[in-house]
């Protein structure tokens, strides 16, 4: 499946930084920050940031080798993906994966279950971790659900296909507070607008109040299911998203944390 490039968004002129407030120039803490498409050669840096940023994530618990395989699947699997990274010289500061995903987690588990079983057997202490067991149970549930959906409607399209999903966004912990996460999110939003999407969606852990507050500050809304919220959020895309600026233009309190997002439509 295709991997889309953000080069057309980057080629557009950005608003002048001469009008930025002190809170809008936090990139000045770092050498020049550049943004580019990610490819397979970036997997080591991506996996390293993932493990550092998502410590309570099953993939992170299983180590960087599994994380590399997971993100490789996102780049080469049956997805319609856009992957962008922020760099200071050659160092990756953060990344964002977005698009339309077809089995981002369940497909990965189905394809690599033997390898995953080996990695789990090499870390027997994880079996005693209640959070790890819950995540594994959720993964198994997703695989079963994905299989049933394929059997019931092999030609049906994902109901979220018209919405641009944010699979993962993460910032290196030592680059927090510099506006990297917000810039990545706005860049990929401008890209989604350019491709004709009218809405975006993601899933965040409901108890991660810091991240939830940031998303709400950036215009995201909670999606309730029978009056309860399980972590799903969505955001409309409009004409104001067409222009991307690499500065933080959303107020004083948007200092992106180490964990900034989780699985979206990755069933």
Give, in words, the CATH class of 3-241.
Answer: alpha beta
pTM: 0.75
Q: What is the pLDDT of residue 10?
A: 65
- Is the Cβ–Cβ distance between 267 and 147 less than 8 Å? no
Closest C-alpha among 62, 60, 63, 9 to residue 36: 9
Long-range own/partner contacts, residues 238-242 (CB < 8 A, 24 or more apart): 238/193, 239/193, 241/186, 241/189, 241/190, 241/192, 241/193, 242/190, 242/193, 242/194
- Is the Cβ–Cβ distance between 99 and 4 less than 8 Å? yes
Tens digit of pLDDT for each residue in 149-189?
544 444 444 444 589 999 999 999 998 888 898 889 989 99
Q: What are the distances in angstroms from CA 56 to CA 125, 132, 245?
A: 15, 8, 32
**Residue scoring higher pLDDT (70 or 147):** 70
Q: Per-residue confidence at 4, pLDDT binned at 50, 70, 90?
A: confident
Tens digit of pLDDT for each residue in 26-74?
444 556 889 999 999 999 999 999 999 988 778 888 889 999 999 999 9
């Amino acid at each position: 499946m295709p991997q889309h490039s953000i080069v057309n968004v980057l080629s557009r002129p950005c608003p002048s930084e001469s009008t930025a407030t002190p809170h809008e120039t936090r990139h000045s803490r770092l050498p020049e920050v550049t943004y580019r498409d990610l490819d397979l050669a970036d997997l080591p840096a991506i996996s390293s940031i993932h493990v550092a940023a998502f410590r309570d994530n099953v993939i992170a618990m299983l180590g960087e080798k599994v994380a590399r395989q997971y993100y490789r699947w996102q780049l080469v699997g049956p997805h319609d993906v856009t992957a962008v990274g922020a760099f200071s010289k050659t160092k990756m500061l953060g990344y964002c994966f977005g698009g339309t995903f077809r089995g981002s987690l369940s497909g990965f588990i189905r394809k690599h279950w033997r390898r995953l079983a080996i990695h789990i057997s090499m870390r027997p202490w994880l079996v005693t971790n209640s959070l790890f067991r819950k995540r594994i149970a959720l993964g198994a549930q997703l695989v079963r659900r994905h299989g049933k959906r394929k059997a019931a409607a092999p030609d049906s399209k994902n109901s979220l296909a018209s919405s641009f999903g944010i699979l993962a966004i993460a910032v290196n912990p030592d680059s927090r507070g510099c506006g990297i996460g917000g810039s990545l999110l706005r860049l990929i939003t401008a890209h989604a607008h350019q491709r004709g999407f009218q809405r975006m969606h993601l899933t965040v852990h409901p108890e991660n109040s810091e991240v939830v507050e940031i998303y709400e500050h950036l215009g995201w809304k909670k999606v309730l299911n029978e009056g309860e919220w399980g972590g799903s959020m969505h955001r409309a895309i409009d004409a104001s998203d067409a222009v991307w600026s690499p500065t933080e233009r959303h107020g004083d309190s948007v200092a992106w944390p180490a964990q900034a997002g989780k699985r979206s439509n990755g069933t």
